[in-house]
Amino acid sequence: MAIDTVGIIGAGTMGNGIAQVCATSGLNVVMIDIHDAALQKGLATIRGSLERLLKKEKISAAERDAALARIRTSTSYDDVKGAQLVIEAATENLELKLKILRQLDALLPPETIVATNTSSISITQLAAVTGRADRFIGMHFFNPVPVMALVEIIRGLQTSDATHDAVRDLALRLGKTPITVKNSPGFVVNRILVPMINEAFFVLAEGLASPEDIDAGMKLGCNHPIGPLALADMIGLDVCLAVMNVYFAEFNDSKYRPCPLLKEMVAAGYLGRKTGRGVYTYA
């Protein structure tokens, strides 16, 4: 299937980032949100990102203008009927995603591929509420989308080879590096990353080293760009805990037990950068 138009449901951080990389890669984009204010905010973010690329001479003024011209916005799902691929990029909430997918499935032509940008929800479960489970797939982009090279292509139990190949080809067209992943809690990256963060909290709780030294150890010893504790603050300690709770419940394996210190900090409201205090304190 030739994909020249992509519908994107959600104009937030992930949605507008996906819209930007699609538009700069020559695809027509229809970005949908329930509020026009959200759409305008998403467009403003895209404009700002493209302006920064222009100042760094990574794109020309003509390329910036062409990309913006390829993006349409709407508050009606009807406007994605002409898209060959629709990417759901709403908030990471199961019931919300199920509601959106049912609505999309009812109005899209049967040949349209539907993808979800979930980072944790079962692709098999989401696909099952549609009448196109073989044409449903996960496309997990990473934040910030215009910068991060990776896309996890997640196959549900029902995903066809043709759907996988079409979406993988699209990811390559977007300049991304796709990896193919089976459906499982956390997929690949978060399955490895979040337990590592959890283990860093165990190390901190046991007093083996200070937060600064733990982070320095992983940065300098493993060549990580940011230490696990600082990364937890960036992600949000509540998010890290929620993910660990999912793993613990889904795998029924004690190795995924959340660190008591992590649980206590979340209970105290020390959630990281967004609250001004986590492992570190922020102005």
Asked whether 23 and 6 are in contact (CB, 8 A), the reply is no
Q: Point out the catalytic residue in the list 16, 117, 120, 190.
A: 190
Per-residue pLDDT reduced to its tens digit, 201-234: 999 999 999 999 999 999 999 999 999 999 999 9
Per-residue pLDDT reduced to its tens digit, 31-89: 999 999 999 999 999 999 999 999 999 999 999 999 999 999 999 999 999 999 999 99
Question: What is the pLDDT of the chain when averaged over all its residues?
Answer: 96
Check residue 172 and give its pLDDT: 97
Check residue 142 and give its pLDDT: 92
Check residue 20 and give its pLDDT: 98
What integer is the mean pLDDT of 187-194? 95
Q: Is 198 a catalytic residue?
A: no
d(CA 5, CA 22): 9
Q: Is the pTM of this model over 0.85?
A: yes
**At residue 1, does pLDDT exceed 80?**
no
DSSP letter at 257 equals P
What integer is the mean pLDDT of 151-165? 98
Fold match between domain 5-182 and domain 191-274: no
**At residue 277, does pLDDT exceed 90?**
yes
Please, which pLDDT band fits residue 2 given cuts at 50, 70 and 90?
A: confident
Binding site: which residues? 10-15, 33, 49, 56, 92, 97, 119, 143, 274
Binding site for CoA: which residues? 49, 56, 119
**At residue 119, does pLDDT exceed 90?**
no
Q: Is 74 a catalytic residue?
A: no
Tokens of 172: 């390559």
Distances (CA, A) of 48 to 187, 224, 258: 32, 28, 38
Q: Point out the catalytic residue in the list 119, 120, 122, 183.
A: 119
- Strand residue runs (E) in the chain: 5-9, 28-32, 71-74, 85-88, 113-116, 136-141, 150-155, 177-182
Degrees to nearest 5, angle at CA 80 with 75 and 86: 110
Check residue 120 and give its pLDDT: 84
Q: Which residues pair with 28 in a beta bridge?
A: 5
Q: Is 25 a catalytic residue?
A: no
Choose which CATH entry (3.40.50.261, 3.20.20.70, 3.40.50.720, 3.30.420.10) describes domain 5-182. Answer: 3.40.50.720
Instruction: Show me where the domains of the chain are located.
Output: 5-182, 191-274
**At residue 92, does pLDDT exceed 90?**
no
Sorted by sequence, the CB contacts under 8 Å of residue 122 that are 6+ apart come out as 156, 183, 185
Q: Percentage of residues in the chain with pLDDT exceeding 70?
A: 100
Sorted by sequence, the CB contacts under 8 Å of residue 242 that are 6+ apart come out as none
Q: Which CATH number applies to 191-274?
A: 1.10.1040.10
Per-residue pLDDT reduced to its tens digit, 232-258: 999 999 989 999 998 999 999 999 999
Asked whether 83 and 112 are in contact (CB, 8 A), the reply is yes
**At residue 146, does pLDDT exceed 80?**
yes
Asked whether 115 and 86 are in contact (CB, 8 A), the reply is yes
Tokens of 177: 């590096």
Check residue 91 and give its pLDDT: 86
Q: Point out the catalytic residue in the list 16, 88, 120, 152.
A: 152
Sorted by sequence, the CB contacts under 8 Å of residue 222 that are 6+ apart come out as none
Q: Is 224 a catalytic residue?
A: no
Tokens of 25: 């890669």
Binding site for NAD(+): which residues? 10-15, 33, 92, 97, 119, 143, 274
Q: Which of 54, 71, 91 is nearest to 7 (CA)?
A: 71
Please, which pLDDT band fits residue 30 given cuts at 50, 70 and 90?
A: very high
What integer is the mean pLDDT of 4-26? 97
Q: Point out the catalytic residue in the list 117, 140, 183, 198.
A: 140
Check residue 93 and give its pLDDT: 86
Please, which pLDDT band fits residue 99 given cuts at 50, 70 and 90?
A: very high
